[in-house]
């Protein structure tokens, strides 16, 4: 089919499709944390035996693409709220910390940014409330989706993630525990669209090759609910499957966008699993550089995938090389293992993947909600502002006493210059503290506005 003709059909169908889906999802989102009976008929688990209906039927392809196009009127308001929040955190917050001397301003602003990203994600995707996110990163074809599929219980009614994603179609995908299987697409404009399994499995390279439509420009993230979490993965954990970070085709905008999306997503996760194809032989320089930029808070788990293709001696050599590379790069790691997603097997006598999830699950069961973390950070910053203001006032008082006792005009002039500088610092700290408090209030109101406009 001619691609230009297809796009015209998509645009014609889009508005009616969006209105129908919006009404269905709005009602469901208000009534259910997970998929209830009302949504069951809309979320199918069927996969066409003879192929994928969205790849083979042009009319179904048009309906799918139309349902995922942005609704401009809603998009504008939501993006306006998000832009305001980003400006508050990235610009105003850093400015309010600039006169503090007892903290690393960049580190504090980075910590606040990470907490705020989590809070925003929880506000935009309700299923992430009180969830600890384990992100999966790596290059394209490292096997991130197949790794997740291999960790789900094989005897449960699972939803399988597509394993043939490419730069033009890959979308960050959350996998969470739920009473029923189901899939939701969270669009860039704020709408939520329920998908059938076949629809999600069609959102891959094959769809792009057939229709020249890549969904990553319209779909911000996917949410997959499954009842297949094994015992070691807590229901308070969300797995995040991200696009590969490397630019497989440097000439495409989508590949560059995927790298940025991946970095943004992985910077805000709580724990990180890094997938590497065992054929690489080690954790390469590009991987190490990307990991340095992420600054993970916790030791990472590195998984050399496709290890079933290697001998035990070759597996051991690769694991040793990987450990040496991370140690030289000063990147803390939980462990480095050889694994096969095809067989769900960890080699060389280790059981580190299961142990990693058990460790993370213990943290997830007792972690503070993100809003509480943000409140704790605000309290700590208030204490820092108060302490530095008191210290500055004390220095000012000492300077006044010294000036009164001085009898040399040059000494007095010199002390007055210092006094003027310290007076400015006292005023700046007071103003910055007021600004910080105001920004926090604006941040809270912005979160509320985001909920109303979502």
User: Over 90: is that where the pLDDT of 181 sits?
Assistant: no
List, edge to edge, every strand of the sheet that includes 173-177: 192-195, 182-187, 219-226, 173-177, 237-241, 132-138, 271-277, 300-305, 333-340, 345-346
- The whole-number pLDDT of residue 75 equals 55
- The whole-number pLDDT of residue 320 equals 97
Mean pLDDT of 253-267: 69
Pairing of strands 333-340, 345-346: antiparallel
Task: Tell me which residue of 247, 248, 233 sits closest to 361, measured CA to CA.
Answer: 233
Per-residue pLDDT band for 165 (boundaries 50, 70, 90) equals low
User: Over 80: is that where the pLDDT of 44 sits?
Assistant: no
User: Over 50: is that where the pLDDT of 25 sits?
Assistant: no
Neighbours of 113 (CB within 10 A): 17
Residues in the chain: 454
327-357: pLDDT as tens digits: 999 999 999 999 999 999 999 999 999 999 9
Per-residue pLDDT band for 23 (boundaries 50, 70, 90) equals very low
Q: What is the pTM of this model?
A: 0.77
User: Over 70: is that where the pLDDT of 42 sits?
Assistant: no
Per-residue pLDDT band for 158 (boundaries 50, 70, 90) equals low
Domain layout of the chain by residue ranges: 3-71, 75-121+370-452
- The whole-number pLDDT of residue 118 equals 72
- Range ranked top by mean pLDDT from 164-168, 209-213, 243-247, 366-370: 209-213
Mean pLDDT of 11-21: 48
Helix axes 370-405, 409-452, angle to 10 degrees: 160
């Amino acid at each position: 089919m001619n691609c230009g003709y297809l796009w015209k059909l998509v645009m014609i169908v889009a508005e009616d499709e969006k209105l129908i889906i919006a009404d269905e999802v709005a009602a469901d989102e208000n009534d259910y944390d997970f998929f209830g009976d009302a949504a069951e008929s809309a979320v199918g688990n069927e996969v066409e035996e003879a192929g994928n209906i969205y790849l083979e039927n042009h009319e179904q392809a048009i309906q799918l693409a139309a349902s995922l196009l942005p609704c401009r009127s809603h998009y504008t308001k939501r993006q306006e709220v998000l832009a305001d929040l980003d400006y508050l955190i990235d610009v105003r917050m850093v400015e309010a910390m600039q006169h503090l001397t007892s903290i690393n301003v960049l580190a504090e602003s980075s910590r606040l940014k990470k907490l705020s990203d989590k809070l925003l994600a929880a506000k935009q995707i309700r299923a992430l409330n009180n969830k600890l996110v384990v992100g999966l990163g790596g290059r394209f074809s490292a096997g991130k989706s197949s790794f997740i599929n291999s960790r789900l219980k094989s005897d449960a009614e699972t939803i399988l993630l597509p394993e043939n994603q490419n730069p033009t179609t890959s979308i960050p995908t959350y996998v969470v525990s739920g009473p029923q299987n189901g899939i939701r697409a969270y669009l860039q404009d704020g709408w939520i669209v329920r998908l059938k399994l076949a629809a999600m499995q069609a959102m891959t390279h094959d769809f792009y090759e057939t229709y020249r439509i890549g969904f990553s420009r319209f779909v911000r993230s996917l949410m997959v609910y499954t009842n297949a979490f094994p015992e070691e993965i807590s229901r308070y954990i969300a797995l995040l499957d991200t696009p590969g970070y490397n630019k497989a085709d440097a000439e495409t905008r989508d590949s560059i966008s995927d790298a940025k999306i991946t970095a943004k997503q992985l910077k805000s996760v709580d724990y990180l699993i890094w997938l590497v194809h065992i054929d690489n032989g080690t954790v390469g320089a590009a991987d190490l550089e990307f990991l340095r930029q992420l600054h993970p808070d916790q030791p990472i788990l590195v998984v050399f995938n496709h290890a079933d293709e290697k001998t035990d001696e070759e597996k051991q050599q690769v694991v040793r090389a990987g450990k040496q590379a991370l140690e030289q790069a000063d990147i803390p790691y939980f462990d480095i293992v050889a694994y096969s997603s095809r067989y769900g097997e960890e080699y060389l006598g280790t059981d580190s993947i299961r142990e990693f999830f058990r460790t993370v699950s213990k943290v997830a069961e007792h972690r503070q909600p993100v809003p509480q973390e943000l409140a704790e950070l605000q309290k700590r910053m208030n204490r820092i502002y108060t302490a530095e203001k008191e210290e500055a006032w004390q220095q000012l008082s000492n300077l006044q006493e010294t000036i009164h006792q001085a009898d040399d005009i040059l000494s007095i002039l010199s002390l007055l210059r210092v006094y003027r500088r310290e007076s400015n610092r006292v005023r700046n700290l007071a103003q910055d503290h007021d600004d910080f408090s105001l920004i926090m209030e604006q941040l809270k109101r912005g979160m509320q506005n985001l909920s109303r406009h979502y």
